[in-house]
Amino acid sequence: MEKKLIKLQAGTKWTSIILPMLLVISNFCFSQYTIKSHYDKYDDFKIFEIDNNFLTLKNLNSNTSIRLDAYCFLKSNVVVYRLKVQYYSSDWLFIGAGESLVLLIDGKRLGFTGNGSSGDREVLTGTGVAIKEIAYYPITKEEFEQIAKGELIEIKLSGDKYFIECMFNKWNKQAFRIFYDNYVNKSADELNKMPLQKERKLMTKRTGGFILLIAVLTLLIIGN
């Protein structure tokens, strides 16, 4: 996503228009996720993770993109699970500490508590029209199973300024089900024996949205 958020020159007449448009279009033209793993030989731990798991926003006019990634961390034969929210927009959400992430899984509420994004906020362009916030949330194996087996999954991400509502599309559900079956629903011994998988990309592109993205980028080039 960081690569798609182009660093536009400060002062260009397109800066305040094009980047929010790209954020909106990215919600439509890309449905993708990546499953990968990594071993750190210096601190002797393994990480298995879902990456690039972009959600569907309920507000289709929003200039916001949200990822809900997940990982399991294996060290000293102990496994820890985390959810990772990445928020991209033209305005700060200021994800706060506490229960700022709530999922409704087929109507059943699951609330997640974390430290918020105060330690992980970044301006992506020199003009400040695009920002990123990251927040982490502990999750149990049982909670992960509920998400993986859910059919209708609705999400509310709250900040100090406002909140965003999202939902899982079929690719998000597929990502969590595959990740649960292959990694979360495994013992520490099984994960230790598992070969590393550098990257497994599963991606579809919605053709209409992809063409629209190319058109916007063409306008950007012509305008500069």
3-state secondary structure the chain: CCCCCCCCCCCCCCHHHHHHHHHHHHHHHEEEEEEEEEEECCCCEEEEEEECCECEECCCCCCCEEEEEEEEEEECCEEEEEEEEEEEECCCCCECCEEEEEEEECCEEEEEEECCCCCCEEECCCCCCCEEEEEEEECCHHHHHHHHHCCCEEEEEEECCCEEEEECCHHHHHHHHHHHHHHHCCCHHHHHHCCCCCCEEEEEECHHHHHHHHHHHHHHHHHC
User: What span, in angstroms and rounded, lies between the C-alpha atoms of 100 and 143?
Assistant: 16
Q: Which residue has the tokens 């149990």?
A: 140
CB neighbour list of residue 30: distance below 8 Å, 6 or more residues apart? 54, 203, 205, 206, 209, 210
Structure tokens belonging to residue 93: 């959400």
Q: Which residues pair with 138 in a beta bridge?
A: 82
Q: Output phi, psi for 220, to 5 deg.
A: -65, -45
Could you tell me the pTM of the whole model?
0.74
CB neighbour list of residue 102: distance below 8 Å, 6 or more residues apart? 109, 110, 111, 112, 155, 156, 158
Task: Supply the pLDDT for residue 206.
Answer: 41
Task: Supply the pLDDT for residue 104.
Answer: 98
Task: Supply the pLDDT for residue 2.
Answer: 40
Task: Supply the pLDDT for residue 5.
Answer: 37
Q: What is the mean pLDDT of each run of 10 residues along the chain (224 residues)?
A: 38 47 48 81 93 87 85 95 94 94 98 95 73 96 97 96 93 95 95 76 44 55 58
Task: Supply the pLDDT for residue 200.
Answer: 53
